[in-house]
Amino acid sequence: MSTTVAEIDIPSDYVPSSEEEFMNPKQLAYFRNKLIAWKDDIQRESAETLQNLQEDNLREPDIADRASSETDWSVELRTRDRQRKLVSKIDAALRRIDEGEYGYCDVTGEPISLRRLDARPIATMTIEAQEAHERAEKVHRDD
C-alpha cells in the first residue's frame, strides 16, 4: 500500500527547497497543508461574519449610523464573496495536487518557482506566463 500526500508528516519548520526533487511527496504535503490551513481560515472567518450578521441589528435609530453600518456590512460581504471565489481556487489547487499536476504552469508546462508557490499557492502560471497573460488581457481591454 502506497502512502498518499495527505498521510506524509512534515516538520513544522520545513520549507521546500530547490535542492530537492521538484514536487516530491514532501513538497506536495507542504503545499497541501498550506492550502488546507488557508481554506480553514477563510471558512472560519466567513462563519464569524455570518454569525455577526445574524446577531447585529442594522435598525439603528440614527440614519447616519444606519448608513454607516450598512456600508460596513456591504464591504464585508464583498470581501466574503472574493474569499468564496478564493476557496474554489484553493479546491482546484488541491485537485491538481491529487492529480499530480500541481506546481506546473498551465500555459508552458514548466515548473512554477517554489518561491512563487509559497507566496501564492494557488498560482497556475509561472511569473513569465502570468505577465504575458496580463499584457495580452490589457491589449484586449484597450481595443
pLDDT in tens, 9-59: 898 899 999 999 999 999 999 999 999 999 999 999 888 877 776 666 556
Spatial contact of 89 and 102, defined as CB atoms under 8 Å apart: no
Which comes out higher in pLDDT, residue 102 or 64? 102
CATH architecture type of domain 22-102:
Up-down Bundle (1.20)
Phi, psi angles (nearest 5°) of residue 109: 80, 0
pLDDT band at 3 (very low <50, low <70, confident <90, very high): low
Over residues 114-140, the mean pLDDT reads 92
pLDDT band at 64 (very low <50, low <70, confident <90, very high): confident
One-letter amino acid of 43:
Q
Q: Where are the domains of the chain?
A: 22-102, 105-143
